Structure 1
Amino acid sequence: MTCLAVAAVTAGAGLCGLAVLLAAAVVTPVPILSMTAAAIVFLAVAYAGAVLVTARRVSPGHRRTARRVAFTAGSLVPGAVFAWAALAPAPPSPATAMAGASPVQVSTGSTLTVIKLPARGGASRSPIVVVHGGPGVPELQDNAKAFASLTDQGFDVYLYAQLGTDGSTRLDDPRGYTRGRAVADLEGLRSRLGLSKVILIGHSNGGEIAARYLAAHPDRVAGLVLTSPGPLDPADTSVNLVSGRLDPARKAQLYGTLLQPRSLLGYLLLQVNPAAAHAFLPDAEADARNDIVLELARPALYCRGAMPAERPVQGTGFYAMQYPQSATAPRPSDPRPALAGLPTPTLIIKGSCDYLSWRSATTYRDLLPNSRLIYVNGAGHNVYHDGNTTVVAAITAFLTHRPLPLPSYTAAAPPAGYEGPP
């Protein structure tokens, strides 16, 4: 009997147990039932493997003892370690609250955390609503800091945490986190706040949500600003390339965190049954783990060496982020036909260090005839968080109908210094 044979038995039993766990989770969302089934299969396969290994390699007089040793070493000890690692919940992140934040219930049933930055001297222009990215990454404090200067220009600025993030509603069923619900929540918020027409500033995935809102409610949008907008083409998978911008040490930390047994099991359950994942990994714990993952990935959102010393990532929503990308999520509708030709004034901003594809930005430019694309050298995905004053200056100039500080970029191909995919 060899250690290699015992390890092979353990691995085989583990794979069988995991397969049964995921299969059972399709049928029932109750974790104890699927885990019991998995444990029974794991132990049965491990015992059968121990019998097989000892029958071939151990003399008859020592087989019973060898079988016990092999079964204990190959199943009970690793199984107990895995069970401890997978079943012991992590402590949740401390609750965060931003001064001036208020809960606002909208017609969809969502309660959204909203911050209003009132125009200084009174509002004289269309109000601005900032649609954060992720999905599931509210960044309310950083966005408030970035866009506070717009209040000097007569704009009321509203920031809100989308469904499933920060202090906003968490759903019992993760399958409710869809792009359609995000658009409906935004329309409900506009109506609840009594805003006739709004200017939308959408970042990353929030850019896609803002564009989908424009497609559904073109008469409600006075202007659109898209920073590092998420791709509209389902075939564009550049959203998965963020870790490629991390250095090897940081990437190892990130994947080590993602592959922790409990986190990995929650993610796998989400791929087969979101209700089972939610029952196993509740919101508070899932969000706390998500905060850690996104903090480790944060350098990828900036040019190398340019990450600002911001506060740690907090308030993110695991299920709001992961369910729309999961195997069980329905394919989203294509908003491009409804967007094509809309005359809404639009500014698109793309940084040289963005990990998203170049065409994720030019798609919007090509669809919207009254749009302008500007390219910001030395700016990352989070173009307005890295201290680059040109970005907010460009947004301010666009919204106040003044000349932009950067020229429009009209070519189809990216500039020579662009670091992202084409």
Structure 2
Amino acid sequence: MTTFSGHDGTRLHYRVLGEGEPLLVLAGGAMRDSAYLGDLGGLSAHRALHVLDLRGTGRSQPPADPTSYRVDRQVADVEALRAHLGLDRVDVLAHSAGCSLATLYALRHPGRAGRLVLVTPSLRVFGDTVTEDHFREAAEARGLGEEEWYPAAWAAVRTAAAGGAADPDDLAPFFHGRWDAAARAHEATRDAQSHPEAATAYLDGGYEPAEVRAAVAELASPALLVAGEYDPAPRPGAVRAAAALFRHARTVVQPAAGHYPWLDDPGAFRRTVADFLAS
């Protein structure tokens, strides 16, 4: 059975990919359907990926109370899945905005969280914000300027920095190590997999960044933070700074990767994560 009851009775779904020791997987977006993760570059050959559809996404039911989309309130869903699986302790991998949920879960249930893998993590939970300078640094790191998509992408960055509504389609190339056919196909699924109202509620606080920063310094769970060399949000330097907040954490920067490193170099990503989980 791949359904279970969330903390308020909402019926939630998860997919199991591969065999072996479970690895609980949390999607980003925020609140994007978990299908975009695929099997994380073949990581299912090393662990049984238990990929949760967050409430209201994928095959999981939307909740009766929309405020339960807030990230701190979904911690109880993660704990409900751990209990449903009958595990005393569970390793957790999360991507992007899902890393806030994984971090809050580990802090609220330190005896239940094993190893943490935070992939190109959103750093909002620590109080960090993304700026125009981060996109400029990313552009400089990859030597941008001549690509046909760059003028529209940079204009979108400037629009967002000024408080305007940037077109996500224009920004999309920035988040991939290569803007090739595979990257375009991945981005083509984004709109159908997005849930804007749920995402807004997910990001509506529920924690104090200063308290999170202090708490992770006492967290016993080992953590791996994976950054992409070309990712504008977060930049590798910001990921290293976040890792330094943890009691036990290290950073791996995947060369020539963007926000989805399992797409840019599946083998490198798979080896990095599998080695950490096995250590």
Q: TM-score band, normalised by the shorter chain?
A: 0.7 to 0.9
Higher helix share: 1
- 1:353 corresponding residue in structure 2: 230
Greater relative contact order: 1 or 2 (C-alpha under 8 angstroms, separation 6 or more)? 2
1:380 alignment partner, one of 253, 258, 276: 258
1:105–1:111: 8 Å Cα contact kept in structure 2? yes
Residue 190 of structure 2 corresponds to residue 302 of structure 1: no
2:91–2:115: 8 Å Cα contact kept in structure 1? yes
- 2:217 corresponding residue in structure 1: 340
Aligned in 2, Cα 1:377/1:118: closer, same or farther, shift over 3 Å? closer
Structure 1 residue 197, shift from structure 2 partner: 1.2
1:43-73 per-residue CA deviation (whole Å, 9 max, x = no partner) reads xxxxxxxxxxxxxxxxxxxxxxxxxxxxxxx
Structure 1 residue 357, shift from structure 2 partner: 4.0
SS of the residue corresponding to residue 218 of structure 1 reads coil
Give the distance between the partners of 1:241 and 1:316, measured in 2 at CA.
27
SS of the residue corresponding to residue 111 of structure 2 reads helix
**Pairs within 5 Å for 1:7-406:** 102-119=2-19, 123=20, 125=21, 127-140=22-35, 142-146=36-40, 149-153=42-46, 155-171=47-63, 173-232=65-124, 235-238=127-130, 247-249=150-152, 297-303=171-177, 305-306=179-180, 308=183, 309-310=185-186, 312-313=189-190, 314-325=192-203, 329-330=204-205, 332-334=207-209, 335-358=212-235, 360-401=238-279
Task: Give the length in aligned residue pairs.
Answer: 256
Aligned in 2, Cα 1:210/1:323: closer, same or farther, shift over 3 Å? same
SS of the residue corresponding to residue 322 of structure 1 reads helix
Aligned in 2, Cα 1:182/1:247: closer, same or farther, shift over 3 Å? farther
Give the distance between the partners of 1:215 and 1:399, measured in 2 at CA.
19
SS of the residue corresponding to residue 212 of structure 1 reads helix
Aligned in 2, Cα 1:240/1:213: closer, same or farther, shift over 3 Å? farther
- 1:80 corresponding residue in structure 2: none
Aligned-residue sequence identity (percent) comes to 24
CA RMSD of aligned residues (A): 3.3
- 2:142 corresponding residue in structure 1: none
1:226-278 per-residue CA deviation (whole Å, 9 max, x = no partner) reads 1111114564221888988773336779999xxxxxxx9xx9xxxxxxxxxxx
Aligned in 2, Cα 1:300/1:161: closer, same or farther, shift over 3 Å? farther
Aligned in 2, Cα 1:179/1:241: closer, same or farther, shift over 3 Å? farther
Give the distance between the partners of 1:296 and 1:114, measured in 2 at CA.
32
Give the distance between the partners of 2:133 and 2:94, measured in 1 at CA.
20
1:280-322 per-residue CA deviation (whole Å, 9 max, x = no partner) reads xxxxxxxxxxxxx655543232135356233522322111212
Q: Which amino acid aligns with 2:122?
A: G
1:72-95 per-residue CA deviation (whole Å, 9 max, x = no partner) reads xxxxxxxxxxxxxxxxxxxxxxxx
2:118–2:223: 8 Å Cα contact kept in structure 1? yes
Structure 1 residue 212, shift from structure 2 partner: 1.1
Give the distance between the partners of 1:249 and 1:373, measured in 2 at CA.
32
Structure 1 residue 336, shift from structure 2 partner: 2.1
Larger Rg: 1
Q: Which amino acid aligns with 2:197?
A: Y
Structure 1 residue 176, shift from structure 2 partner: 2.8
Higher strand share: 2
Q: Return the TM-score normalized by structure 1.
A: 0.53
2:213–2:245: 8 Å Cα contact kept in structure 1? yes
- 2:143 corresponding residue in structure 1: none
Structure 1 residue 150, shift from structure 2 partner: 3.6
SS of the residue corresponding to residue 208 of structure 2 reads coil
2:27–2:94: 8 Å Cα contact kept in structure 1? yes
User: Where does structure 1 differ by over 6 angstroms across 4 or more consecutive aligned residues?
Assistant: 239-246, 251-256
Aligned in 2, Cα 1:233/1:399: closer, same or farther, shift over 3 Å? closer
Give the distance between the partners of 1:301 and 1:345, measured in 2 at CA.
27
Unaligned runs of 5+ in 1: 1-100, 257-263, 268-292, 402-422
Structure 1 residue 397, shift from structure 2 partner: 1.4
Q: Which amino acid aligns with 2:16?
A: K
Give the distance between the partners of 1:220 and 1:231, measured in 2 at CA.
23
Q: Return the TM-score normalized by structure 2.
A: 0.77
Structure 1 residue 346, shift from structure 2 partner: 1.6
Structure 1 residue 324, shift from structure 2 partner: 4.1
1:230–1:356: 8 Å Cα contact kept in structure 2? yes
2:116–2:222: 8 Å Cα contact kept in structure 1? yes
Give the distance between the partners of 2:272 and 2:216, measured in 1 at CA.
24
SS of the residue corresponding to residue 15 of structure 2 reads strand
- 1:61 corresponding residue in structure 2: none
Structure 1 residue 139, shift from structure 2 partner: 3.5
1:319-376 per-residue CA deviation (whole Å, 9 max, x = no partner) reads 1212344xxx456333222221323222111111111244541243212232221112
2:97–2:122: 8 Å Cα contact kept in structure 1? yes
1:204–1:227: 8 Å Cα contact kept in structure 2? yes
Aligned in 2, Cα 1:143/1:221: closer, same or farther, shift over 3 Å? same
